[in-house]
């Protein structure tokens, strides 16, 4: 599942105004007739419910919208370029890493809902020595990192520059949570549209500069520069319940029992390498459950699937900790019942700690604690598990996803909490 993509987005520049004069018989140089340039194309981010990931953007380095056409003779206005639309799944956040000057002006003074007018952008005049001469080229529009070098530690600034200049478009190996960035928008509904990069305005032709004292103006305007941004698109799962547990806890089996999802299931760690969504139907209502890849100790520091897992927990309304005891531990005669129960409780402590290390907002989410695979446990062990959680002021639900024992009660408890 592709859920992090870096893109260079560049709106089209406005077309140049034209320096031209009316040509008629016996009038070698009539009045000015240079037309205005057309506006450059903008880049729009649009929410689409037909998409479930950012996979369609894998390998894409960026998008450049078309520039506006230059003005023509006989006061003809250049053609305005079409906007370029990038469709993304609902639940996509857009983060800013760098931008050019005109983009910075719109973001800092206003917002992406505001469209800069002609008076708020830089439009330069150019002068020709004779009609038909080519106008000057646009100036360099290199993007500016969102952090000035003096604003942050050298290490953070370097992290930002590495992310901007990296040749890869997928950022799974980057510690995204700690990367300096600014959130621009979040797409929360299908059909939602945001102009992420506004196109430039077309420059005026020399007809706009004629006057009693200037009957043959040799000046016109360049089109203004379009906005240019370096952004990261981040897709977050939108789910009512997120399943949290170590590898081989049986989360994939559980989601296949509770919902219509059919994830790959196997008796080995890391069967799930990417999140799965399923829909649980209870009393005519639908609830989305996310089977999120199992984490390991140190996931909050990026180990294992690390941040690729923990980011998706943020948008879940309720967490279900799925705990279990390995078959090796269950049938280990050297471990007494109390030690086995302690191992399960220690799993919860470690999982809870990883969430807290990643972000305080995660451990503040409501949660339920479930213990899976009770078909392998003795009555004595089940009682010991209940006792140790009660002792630590925690409620626990015991079930078996494999045999579906007590899964109906689990569903009912989940619905009560959502």
* Nearest alpha-carbon partner for 258 in 413, 52, 53, 91: 413
For residue 18 the two structure tokens come to 């034209």
Strands annotated E in 25-159 = 43-48, 62-64, 84-89, 92-99, 125-127, 144-145
pLDDT value at residue 29: 62
Question: Whole-angstrom distance between the N-terminal and C-terminal Cα of the chain?
Answer: 26
Tell me the whole-structure pTM to 2 decimals. Answer: 0.75
Cβ-based burial of 350 (10 A; exposed 0-12, middle 13-18, buried ≥19): middle
pLDDT value at residue 376: 95
Residue 26 has pLDDT above 80, yes or no: no
pLDDT band at 262 (very low <50, low <70, confident <90, very high): low
Tell me the average pLDDT of the chain: 85
Least trusted range by pLDDT, from 65-74, 156-165, 382-391 = 156-165
CA angle 282, 286, 290 (to 5 degrees): 110
- Partnered with residue 103 across adjacent β-strands are none
Give me the count of residues in the chain: 418
73-109 residue pLDDT tens: 999 999 999 999 999 998 899 999 999 999 999 988 8
Percent of the chain predicted with pLDDT > 90: 49
386-400 residue pLDDT tens: 999 999 999 999 999
pLDDT value at residue 294: 53
Cβ-based burial of 340 (10 A; exposed 0-12, middle 13-18, buried ≥19): buried
Residue 174 has pLDDT above 80, yes or no: no
Which CA distances in Å does 237 have to 5, 266, 288? Answer: 15, 23, 10
Question: For 65-71, what is the mean pLDDT?
Answer: 96
Residue 298 has pLDDT above 80, yes or no: no
pLDDT value at residue 15: 96
Q: What is the DSSP letter of 311?
A: H
Task: State the Cα–Cα distance between residues 241 and 280, nearest whole angstrom.
Answer: 10
List the domains of the chain with CATH numbers: 4-235 (2.70.210.12), 241-417 (3.40.50.300)
Residue 1 has pLDDT above 60, yes or no: no
pLDDT value at residue 161: 86
């Amino acid at each position: 599942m592709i859920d992090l993509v870096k893109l260079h987005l560049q709106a089209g520049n406005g077309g140049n105004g034209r320096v031209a004069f009316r040509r008629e018989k016996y009038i070698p140089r009539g009045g000015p007739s240079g037309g205005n340039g057309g506006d450059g194309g903008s880049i729009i981010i649009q929410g689409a419910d037909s998409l479930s990931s950012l996979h369609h953007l894998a390998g894409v380095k960026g998008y450049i919208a078309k520039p506006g056409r230059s003005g023509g003779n006989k006061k003809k206005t250049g053609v305005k370029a079409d906007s370029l639309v990038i469709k993304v799944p609902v639940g996509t956040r857009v983060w800013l890493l760098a931008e050019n000057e005109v983009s910075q002006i719109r973001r800092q003074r206003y917002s992406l809902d505001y469209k800069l007018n002609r008076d708020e952008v830089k439009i330069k005049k150019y002068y020709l020595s004779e009609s038909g001469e080519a106008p000057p080229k646009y100036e360099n529009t290199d993007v500016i990192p969102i952090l000035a070098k003096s604003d942050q530690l050298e290490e953070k600034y370097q992290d930002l520059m590495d992310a901007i200049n990296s040749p890869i478009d997928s950022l799974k190996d980057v510690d995204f949570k700690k990367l300096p960035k600014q959130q621009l928008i979040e797409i929360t509904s299908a059909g939602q549209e945001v102009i992420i990069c506004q196109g430039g305005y077309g420059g005026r032709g020399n007809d706009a500069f004629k006057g009693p004292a200037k009957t043959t103006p040799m000046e016109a305007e360049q089109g203004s520069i379009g906005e240019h941004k370096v952004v990261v698109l981040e897709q977050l799962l939108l789910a009512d319940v997120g399943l949290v547990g170590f590898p081989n806890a049986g989360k994939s089996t559980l989601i296949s029992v509770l919902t219509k999802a059919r994830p790959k299931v196997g008796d080995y760690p890391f069967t799930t390498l990417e999140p799965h969504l399923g829909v649980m139907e209870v009393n005519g209502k639908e609830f989305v459950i996310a089977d999120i890849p199992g984490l390991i100790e140190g996931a909050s520091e990026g180990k294992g699937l690390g941040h690729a897992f923990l980011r998706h927990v943020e948008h879940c309304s309720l967490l279900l900790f799925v705990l279990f005891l390995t078959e090796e531990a269950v049938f280990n005669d050297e471990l007494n019942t109390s030690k086995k129960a302690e191992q399960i409780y220690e799993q919860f402590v470690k999982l809870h700690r990883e969430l807290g290390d990643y972000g305080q907002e995660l451990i503040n989410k409501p949660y339920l604690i479930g213990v899976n695979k009770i078909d392998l446990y003795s009555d004595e062990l089940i009682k010991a598990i209940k006792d140790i959680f009660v002792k630590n002021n925690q409620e626990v639900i015991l079930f078996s996803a494999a045999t579906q024992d007590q899964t109906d009660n689990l569903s009912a408890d989940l619905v009560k909490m959502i």
